[in-house]
A and B are shown apart, each in its own frame.
Chain A
């Protein structure tokens, strides 16, 4: 089955800095890669996703890049703000299965 590794587990940045979270996956058949943001006491919320026919996708301050050859994808947050502080999860699915495999999460802390 699919295996998703996510790094780092904790990321601490100053407000205004950029943050990068990286994930690798094992199944070359995976073709859908969502990212979720989870604030304290809430459920994960989809913030951006990318499919394997696209190399990069942006939405305001967040972007996701995908390298199919290396089987890794990354979340980039620019100009971080304290409200970006949360746990971020990556996931991968595809190859006929719509059930995603999740990474273990990254706790992002943005210091004012």
Chain B
């Protein structure tokens, strides 16, 4: 998993509650990404980061915010969870050396919003 951990691995929560998912990497890579995976949709980018405190929106960012106060941690927050945010969430890193595009994924967090 390229030194990537995600926590929690599973979470069940109720509609309207805040949820924070954590992605932690051990190799000081500059680029980090959050995706959601849903049946029939593949992987869709939520937000990404290109450095500490530098983040930008992806394709499906509505209802999500992110923060990156340290190189190793990238947090994804659902301010008020909705049932449509039930999904599997993957964090990815891109080493970025020599301009490479390759992304490496974490093990995922399965989130259920009741």
Partners in one complex: yes
- Residues in A lying within 8 Å of B, measured CB to CB: 6, 32, 34, 36, 41-46, 49, 89, 93-94, 98-100, 102-105
Q: Are B107 and A102 in contact (CB under 8 A)?
A: no
CA–CA, A96 and B28, complex, Å: 23
Bitwise, B36-64 to A at CB < 8 A (1) or not (0) is 00001111110010000000001000000
B residues sitting closer than 8 Å to A (CB atoms) are: 1, 31, 33, 40-45, 48, 58, 90, 94, 96, 99, 101-108
Residues of A close to B103: CB separation below 8 A: 34, 46, 100
Verify A49–B108 contact, CB threshold 8 A: no
B105 near A43 with CB under 8 A, answer yes
CB distance from A57 to the nearest CB of B (A): 14
Docked CA distance A6–B42 (Å): 10
- Using A44-B90, A98-B31, A102-B43 as known contacts, list a sample of 13 further A-B pairs with CB atoms less than 8 Å apart, ordered by residue number in A: A32-B102, A41-B108, A42-B108, A43-B105, A43-B107, A45-B105, A46-B103, A89-B43, A93-B101, A94-B101, A98-B99, A99-B48, A105-B42
The 9 closest A-B pairs by CB, nearest first: A43-B105, A104-B42, A32-B101, A102-B43, A102-B42, A44-B105, A93-B101, A98-B101, A43-B107
